[in-house]
Structure formats: structure tokens, C-alpha cells
Structure 1
Amino acid sequence: MAVESCLSRLTELLGDRLLFGSTTVQLNESTFNGSLIALYFVPLGDEIASIDDQALRDLYKTVNENEKKLDIIQICYPDTIDDRKCFDELTKSVPWHTVLYEYVEKRIRLRHKYRVENAEHLLILNDNHLEKVHTRNGLKLLSCEKSFPWTDLWNEKICREALKLTSNEANDTIYGLYFSAHWCPPCKAFIPQLIHAYDKIRKRINFEIIFVSSDRYYIKTINYYKIINVLYHMLIIINILLNVYMINIHIRNRRM
């Protein structure tokens, strides 16, 4: 991306100025200098918030020790109220940039653009143009002590380690991705409907479902997958029994 268009995009999203400590600085082409950009969303509540961001400060200091690799932009978005005193308290000593309080529309738009829920703290790691999101789970990865950068934990690594399908297998088969998790009641309630639809579709075309777990822990994923398999085979047995029952009724009716 050209420098001019990159700067134009950043300005549109963040504004032409940013807060750095207690100083307002101009946003220009050298502000971020090609480093990854993490958007740090912090809610403004009824009272002055007290957040423990020491781990994030330590990360910021460590990764930028020899060369600037990470820029953090804090967005203090209105939650219950848009309180200036709370904003000042949250931003006065941070070592990174902050979207200005005066740019309330941009703060709100950024919140909506990145789908930040009420009272949610998020650290969203992006590329240096804010065009590609590498992960929305920066704070979780930080708490799990995952090594930075986190970009190699996701898209490319997952694709490299994924099951490879040969051209013969993939050509005439349609694949559906089913994102689900054991902690999601609606997901569990949906499984019987999904199984019913799966069987109906497979009678007409080559169709497979790939289960993609949203669980954090391996054991939870395996247990949930077992539940899905059990439900699938139970429903098959029920369908067979129903078919046998209907055939018997039909035979009895004919004899009568």
C-alpha cells in the first residue's frame, strides 16, 4: 500500500492527531513506521476505572527494546458514560498512543467496527495498515504467556498444519465449517437439526462438515466432539427404528 493511502486510511480511522501521554501529536507517515498495530479497547464507566495493564506495559517495553515492532493505540470508548475525568485517568501515564477524547465519533466507530461488547477489554492485533486482523485475543495470549508476535499462531500456521485434501477428494465435495463450543447451549441445541440437514443433503450431493472448535482446551474439544458423534449415531438408530415401525404398520394395514 502506498504511503499516502496508508496514512489516509489511518487518519480516517484514528483522526489526524493522537494523544501521547499528556501531549497531542500529529499523525504522519512515520508515526508507526511499519510496526504491527494493536488496538487496545478500554471502556469508560460510571467510576474512574482501575485496570491492571502492567503485563501489557512490560510486553510493549520488551518487544520494542532494540527495534520498534509494536505500536499500541488505546481507544477509551463510551460504555455507561463518556466521562472526561475517567478518560484522563486512564491515559495520563500510558506509554503508547490514545485516540483523542474530542474524537468521540471515531472512538464509537472503532468500537462498532471491531465489534467490542459492553464493558469489554480487548487487545486486537493488526497489520501496520489496520487492514488485517491477526487476532482479537491479545489479552488472553498475554495472560497465557504466549510469545510475541502472535501472528504465527493463527492463519498461516493453522493452514500449514491442517489436513491436506487431494484434488480428487476436494473436486466434487462441498465442505461446510461448523464453528461450535461445549460452553454454548444454542450450539448443542442446534446439533440435532444440523445432523438432520446433513443426512438430507448427503442424499443429493457429496457433502462433508468440518468441525471447528471454539474451545480453549483440547480435552473440552475432544469431549464435545464425542458428544456430537454419540448424538449422530443415536439419531441414526432412532431413524432406523422409526422406519422399521412404519414398515410394520404398513404391512399390518395391508393384511387387514
Structure 2
Amino acid sequence: MSKKSRPGSRSRALVAATAVVVTLLTGAVGAGAAPATTAQRARPTVILVHGALTDASVWRHEVEALQRKGYAVLAPAMPLRGLASDSAYLAAFLKTVSGPIVLAGHSYAGAVITRAAEGDPRVRALVYVTAFQPDTGETAGELNARFPGSRLGPDTTVVLEHPGGSELYLRQQDFRDVYAGDLSPSTAALMAATQRPVETAALGEPLQGRPAWRDTPSWALVATKDNSLPVATQRFMTARAHSRTTEVASSHAAPVSHPAEVTGLLLDAIRGTAY
């Protein structure tokens, strides 16, 4: 004859069975939630945008350093034809990237990222490296002349007229002094020989729309030995934008001459952004 289970035994068995079911369900929910948490914390893609008179190779050291740390990095080639058209080009490029973005610009590209990132919620941080941070209606040319200190001008530049407009170059002999004073003569000579000109009208084209730095956290590197974009202008713009700012004794070519500091700033933006 089999023994009858006592009421206390049945209760304990029921509690134990319920605990097993709860444990299994909790585990299943946890397993299902993990991918969502991972997606929410996906590493950002870092997009590095070059400015006038250079190409994407100015970011070479930063690309290598970030890739070694496991970040996806893109450094698109910019047309340098006009602020509105360059910004539209970059905005279209951003749409090809999935997930969060940290967007950096050097020099003139600061104006480009300021326009291109407007209204794009995937851009979680803006990084300005010796770069323009214009407000609505301002131009790169006007900002560059607002404070003294720039050696850009008719004596150091060449304007090439062409059927569609005109392009601006730095004179070969002035490139190092104006742009890259803390680089070796050979490196500066290479950059001078391979510079990409900017359409002259782009420097006089005002920013349209609301600047992205008003709504997106920003970081900035100010170059205190910059003979192209005056340090007073850089400080004015970074203070106005409330950018988290680092100052470096650098020429305008900071991505090339101070890659460790620039990479550090990019990593600060990555760590300081809730993605």
C-alpha cells in the first residue's frame, strides 16, 4: 500500500515546483533581454571628417589607434565644394551607417559636421579638432577674421579660377608656417604638395539651420600655436558651444602632429556619451 502524502509535503512540493518554473522563466527572459541590452550599448562608429587643403589621410594615426581598440572608424573623402553641398553629402554618408555615431571634424569640416548632424539622433557626440563651430548665419571666413592671428591671406594663398568658380590653395613655401609649423619640413612639404583645394565660395557660405552643437554634446581641441585658425577664435567658439575643451600646443595640423592627444579626446567623447 502506498503512503498518502501529507498536506505539508504537498505544499512544500508545490512551492519547490513553482520556484523551478520561476527560475526557468527568469532565465528565459534574461536570455531574451541580453541582445537588447547589447544593442543599446553598441559601440559607436567613429566618423572622422577632413577639412580644407587636406584629405582623409590626416586622420591616419587616429584611425589606426581606434581600430586597435576595436572601434569601427570611417574617414570619408569630402568634396570641398560648398558648405551646404558638403553638409548634404556628409548627411547622406551618415545614413549608410547603422547604430550610434561619434562625429569629428577638423578645420573647415567643423562647419560641415555642425550642419550635417542637425536632427540626426544617432550622432551622440561632436568632436571639433582645431575646427570651426559656426552659429546660424556665420561663415568660416568671417569667423577666421574675427580675431587676429591668422596668416591666411592673399600673400600666402593662391586662387585658381576655373569655369565653375575658384579654388583656394596655400602657397607651397608658406604651407608649413601657416598650417603645419610643428611638423618636420619633409612631412609639411608632402602635405603641401598633395593638398586638396577648397572652393573659395565655401568659406563665405553662411551656416543654415540650427547648429548641431546646440543639441548634441561636444568636445573640442584648441591648438594654441595655430597660425591658420586663431586661438582666440577657437576659444570663443568652444566657450559659446560649452564644449569640453582640451588645449594643446599644436599647429593647425593637430591630427598629424598630436595624434595621441586627438585620439584621447575622441575616446573622452566616446566614454562621455551615453550610447
TM-score, normalised with respect to structure 2: 0.23
Q: Identify the structure with bigger relative contact order (alpha carbons < 8 Å, sequence gap 6+).
A: 2
TM-score, normalised with respect to structure 1: 0.24
